[in-house]
Structure 1
Amino acid sequence: MSLELCAGRINYHPDYVSRVFRKETGVTFSEYLSRYRLQMAKIWLAETDMKVAEIADKLQYNIAQNFIRYFRKMENITPGQYRELHKSTITGYDG
């Protein structure tokens, strides 16, 4: 997904869509998309048993390692560590 693709679908110039998007949301399109992808990753890690590589693929990362690197940069832990911390969500175990 890209700004250019979205702008093309609604028949507006990407620069115009970019300006309006930032004005309305307070963040750039790419920042918004990155935050959305991270949020979806966190949900899938906590609520499913999908492998990290599957999650990376669903989020359209070409290489799972790039997803892992980005996740670690943003959350200060790996996706696997995040899943372990939130395992009780998946299994119902809280001890």
Structure 2
Amino acid sequence: MRVFRPAVVALAGLTFATTLSMGEAFASKGSFIWLGPDNKSYVIANPPNSRCLTMQQRARGARNETNAPAVLFSGKKCNGRPTPLAPGKHAPRSAAFSSVRFG
């Protein structure tokens, strides 16, 4: 019984550590900023990777301040013309997009 207990504790710790590291892998670190109606700035902090985010309003002038590459799409649901935006890069203020995907 003494050997069994430390093995269970070690396995539980390993599972917890793996879960934490996997959770961090699914989100980009940093902020994604864009301009919406009336030149108002909008921000998403730590956006999820590999998930399409569709804008509900007109969006333009994206700034990718995350650590992951982003792809801007001209259409909703990540359809249409793709435009890559590397980490730390800014799209022209007039560049409109309808959806974005990170990672």
Q: TM-score, normalised by structure 1?
A: 0.26
Structure with more contact order per residue of length (Cα contacts < 8 Å, sep ≥ 6): 2
Which structure: larger Rg? 2
- By percentage of residues, which structure has more helix? 1
- By percentage of residues, which structure has more strand? 2
